[in-house]
Amino acid sequence: MIDFRTDPSRYRHWRLEVEPPLARLVLDATEDAPLHPGYLLKQNSYDLGVDLELYDATQRLRFEHPEVRVVVIESGKDRVFCAGANIGMLAAASPAHKINFCKFTNETRLAIEDASRCSQQRYLCAIRGTAAGGGYELALACDWIMLADDGSSAVSLPEVALLGVLPGTGGLTRLVDQRRVRRDRADIFCTLEEGIKGRRALEWGLVDELVPLSRFGDAVTERARSLAAESDRPADARGLVLEPLERELGESSLRYSRLRVDWNAERGVGMITVLGPKTVPPEDPSAIGSGFWTLAIARELEDALLHLRFEAPAVGLLVIRSEGSLSAVAAFDAFLAKHAGHWLVREIVGLWKRTLKRLEVGSRTVFALVDSESCFAGSLAELLFAADQCYARAESGGSGPSGGSGPSGACVRLSAMNFGPLPMANGLTRLETRFLGDPAALERARSLVDRDLEAGEAAATGLVTAALDEVDWDDETRIAIEERASFSGDALTGLEANLRFAGPETVETKIFGRLSAWQNWIFQRPSATGEAGALRRYGSGVRPTLDTGRL
């Protein structure tokens, strides 16, 4: 079983060294410590075990080290920065593991870019030796890339020429969309097995700075301090230690302090129940601890989603409920809005934003149910708008589908958190995406902030899919869930991915909606994973058999 909970004392592949205002993340992969047996992590190659440590480190740097303004990523080995994803792992892994591995590494690289953009914690990549495939893609997620000018250090994306697959963590998109590398040059670069080094790498825009090896260390420190001067992170703030995440794992259940997860693999359905806050937020951000409700629920939901992704592949439908007080959730939202400029509040909101995104790219149907026990207010109501379908329970004779003016058995409440701080991968809020092309509906929703909206009004406003009378509630929701779970998982994954991210295309939506989809398909083709495919024959001395046909 894969456990995503770790901390620096348990890292086997990374060293985290903090030297304010800088920190260094040193990749020194332990060859004989792969996540699964059967391969060695040679040449600083990585598997999911290496990458989950990297993700943990990026999280801790944001929360525990406000004094760190620049993170330097470098290698602890001579003559190699990172050889990318481990080929032996890829050749032996199941299709599902390869897909989820690529997805997680994409999310980690995007989290690095988010740290720079939203937390003012810059990333600098210092390359001595070879940065190949995923190793160079890690560099591409950084703000600044420095390459040693020593005659051998080089960058490459050799997957097409060497392995019959594509760069799997956004390399193609970042080359042309973010670094603005000319298309023809990018085409040449991505078909060169040996990569590009020295002056040519700098001229083509593949790196930002070329430095002689004799002064490489000093130049990296100088550049890092220059980047640090551009950051607004507080030098004298006290970080928040991310305490170990406690959970109880059953055969088909997970229990956290604020979250319950139950699933039935045979039915293909999982139920996630979010428990609202039992306390009020503190008076001052300096009093925030690991138990702060919004932070705790974000960490717990993220861990649960990752566990389900890797350990419960048969669960194709997630049903989300909540229990608690609307006013209690609203109080935490009000606190977050009031202290939005505080560095720690910024990090908490950012983690909730990234957790919601993780839900949306999880290749699972998401339904949400609102009943009289629910507390879907503000930031928690984002789960409703992330869902593919959402149903609210109305009391008999109330404001259900048949009309009427009685009270509803369920309410939804909007807050300022629904109108800006939590954008989707497309750069829009979920309500902007929901009401794309209908600005009047969006403004109507904005006018309802801080009101308890009963089931019928929520449905009429477009905040839920439908309001169902309590008499029909059990049957209607059961039928909807059973019908959805009976469809083709492949077809639903494609359907949902196409519908969820309406509106403008961004680097993030390209990576998940386009590159990841094609990469996952290409990884299953005979040229890559067949008996004579490139992944299986890599390192054997025998040339692979590649299918040169075009479908």
Catalytic residues: 137, 159
Instruction: Kindly state the tokens that stand for 157.
Output: 């994306």
SS (H, E, C) 432-462: HHHCCCCHHHHHHHHCCCCCEEEHHHHHHHC
Q: How far is CA 413 from CA 230, 288, 393, 403, 457, in A?
A: 39, 25, 15, 21, 11
Instruction: Kindly state the tokens that stand for 75.
Output: 């290698």
Q: Count CB atoms within 10 A of the CB of residue 447.
A: 10
Instruction: Kindly state the tokens that stand for 69.
Output: 């303004």
Q: How far apart are the first and last CA of the chain?
A: 38
CA gap 502, 509 in Å, rounded: 10
CA gap 435, 446 in Å, rounded: 12
What type of residue sits at position 521? W
User: Could you tell me which residues come within 8 angstroms of residue 421 by beta carbon, excluding any fewer than 6 positions away?
Assistant: 336, 340, 349, 353
The residues facing 131 across adjacent strands are 82, 155
138, containing H or E segment: helix 134-140
3-state secondary structure of 407: coil
